Structure 1
Amino acid sequence: MIAAFSVTPLGIGEDVGEAVAAAVKVVRASGLPNRTDAMFTSIEGEWDEVMPVVRDAIDAVKAYSGRVSTVIKIDDRAGVTDGLTAKVATVERHLAAGG
């Protein structure tokens, strides 16, 4: 499965980069395949591997604020591995073909 999620501390102002970095640090330390972009961090693995990492990332942000907002989108598809790379490669292949 791939889980794309965003954790935002509430009530600490506009500059939330330090708190978000704490969450990303947790994800990167997990050893699971992951990517971070401007809006979401995506992590790939089995349900029982991914969800504790998401919870720990939320907890890391709670160290900065007693209230956090979390958005999670999950693609749970049996038999797929390396989805973080494969999904993007498929789109790039279509773009290269003029599609």
Structure 2
Amino acid sequence: MNKNVESTTNHVYSQSPGNIVSDMDGDKVMLSVHNGKYYNLGELGGAIWDLIKEPLTFQQLVETLRSQYEVDQTECEEQVTDFLSKLKKDGLITIEDKVDA
């Protein structure tokens, strides 16, 4: 598993500000205002992007996706880890320590 993203409940993931996102034939595409790059998030990436409008833990993301798509736990965790790692590398997400209320 890629160690760039923590798959624990100790962190929450959310969108970083400064991105313009649009739907194109079922896929989401995004322009980062900060780095000037375009990204094709695809269908699953777009679903993850929509989910992290509000801060979520890794497990919350995986559970929500598994309820929407037919995918096993391990594959879902790997896909989410890979996608979040790419977003983190390009500064497109915010990762914060979870604060229990």
Q: TM-score, normalised by structure 2?
A: 0.34
Q: TM-score, normalised by structure 1?
A: 0.34
Question: Which has the larger share of helix?
Answer: 1
Whose radius of gyration is greater, 1 or 2? 1
